[in-house]
Amino acid sequence: MNWNQLVTRLFGSYHGMRAAGDFLQGDVMFEGQPLTVVGTTHHAPIGVALALAQARVILDTIAQHPGRPILLLIDTQGQQLRRRDETLGINRAMAHLGMSIDLARRRGHPVIGLVYDQALSGGFITSGLIADGCYALPEAEIRVMRIPAMARVTKLSEEVLTALSQSNPVFAPGVGNYVAMGGVRALWEGDLAAALRDALANTPVEDTRAQDGAERGGRKLAASVVQRVLAAA
């Protein structure tokens, strides 16, 4: 689903969203209330400029519209792998984006992430995974890295990792595995406007991903380890 089809289903034909290259931005009305929407399209690589553009929208919303909900639309291939962006400090720009989203949450802005196409690597970590709740469309693709790349990093063979991915969601790409691990709260199917309405009303502000992963069988130890660390602190 392309971004225009998505926002039309969410907000109607006169949604007011606009795209500037890979950058999406709009102030829309939803259920009679204003909503800030920001995100990316075209499997965007997140470079310095795109990270700072998204952060600017979020910080402006914090300054000018206290408490207004924010919807992050996610379609990214990850960070921009370019010497220019590395030289300019892509790590700091992406950290700035992540901290801007975290600041919005701390200031009382409900922040919802929606993976509507593709979400990879650092472009996903510094956006949807920092939201109060991250959701996805069933046809979305989510992964940190492909199995061949994972094999190079872990020094395990592709055959071993492929076998592990059959029984352990941590090693497997796919939106269903991220639901099982708790990284994605739920899939949005059917009436997308109703799904957004429910997310804005019922997404908890506390981080429940470890507990969700334990209950769903995708991350069996994270929640208990967290509790042991807190008890020992």
Could you tell me if residue 26 is inside a domain?
yes
Instruction: Tell me, yes or no, whether 211 lies in a domain.
Output: no
Tell whether 233 is covered by a domain. Answer: no
Give a yes or no: residue 182 inside a domain: yes
pLDDT score of 117: 94
Q: Are strands 111-120 and 44-46 parallel, antiparallel or unpaired?
A: unpaired
In degrees, rounded to 5, the angle at the alpha carbon of residue 171 between the alpha carbons of residues 167 and 172 is 80
Could you read off the pLDDT of 6-40 as tens digits, one per residue? 999 999 888 889 999 999 999 999 989 999 999 99
pTM, two decimals, is 0.90
Cα 159 off chain centre by: 29
Rounded CA-CA distance 195/174 in Å is: 21
pLDDT in tens, 100-153: 999 999 999 999 999 999 988 788 888 999 999 999 999 998 877 778 888 898
In a domain, 27, yes or no: yes
Q: Which CATH number belongs to the domain containing residue 130 in this structure? A: 3.90.226.10
Question: Which residue range is the domain that position 109 belongs to?
Answer: 3-205
As for how many domains the chain has, the answer is 1
Whether 33 maps to a domain, the answer reads: yes
The single residue listed with the structure tokens 């890295």 is: 145
Number of residues that make up the chain: 233
Per-residue pLDDT, averaged over 76-82, amounts to: 86
Predicted local confidence at residue 203, as pLDDT: 93
- 231 in a structural domain: no
**What rounded mean pLDDT belongs to the chain?**
91
pLDDT tops 90 at residue 175: no
- Is 102 a member of any domain? yes
